[in-house]
Amino acid sequence: GQNIDQPTEMTATEGAIVQINCTYQTSGFNGLFWYQQHAGEAPTFLSYNVLDGLEEKGRFSSFLSRSKGYSYLLLKELQMKDSASYLCAVMDSNYQLIWGAGTKLIIKP
């Protein structure tokens, strides 16, 4: 079966760096996505990786290793507003999005 694994919850300190990992086993691969979802709000697109390596976008970076079935989302200079759930999703060979259950990130002052 197809599976996406990510930690259920993480805690970090304001101003610090946090890395949220995502591992996947899917039927084929057509890209990996990260979405952010604040409580009670819509998920919003953060990043897309289809080739191995690091994609940087401001304070957020996303890394992909296709051979390892692994990605991470790196958040730098954490701010209180970064408290949210982070959803990892992989597009399989049928162009279906397979979703992880999300990682709830709690930022403490």
Partner 1 sequence: ETGVTQTPRHLVMGMTNKKSLKCEQHLGHNAMYWYKQSAKKPLELMFVYSLEERVENNSVPSRFSPECPNSSHLFLHLHTLQPEDSALYLCASSQDETGDYTGELFFGEGSRLTVL
User: Would you tell me which residues interact with partner 1 (CB under 8 A)?
Assistant: 4, 8, 30-31, 33, 35, 40-45, 48, 87, 89, 91, 95-102
Minimum CB distance to partner 1, residue 44 (Å): 7
**By C-alpha distance, which of 73, 97, 101 is closest to 6?**
101
Nearer to partner 1, 18 or 47 (CB): 47
Tell me the C-alpha distance between 1 and 72, whole Å: 22
Strands (DSSP E) along the chain, which ranges? Answer: 3-5, 9-13, 18-25, 32-37, 44-49, 53-57, 60-65, 70-75, 84-91, 97-99, 103-108
Least gap, CB of 78 to partner 1 (angstroms): 23
Q: How far is the CB of 40 from partner 1 (least distance, A)?
A: 7
Of 76 and 104, CB closest to partner 1 = 104
Closest to partner 1 by CB, 33 vs 86, is 33
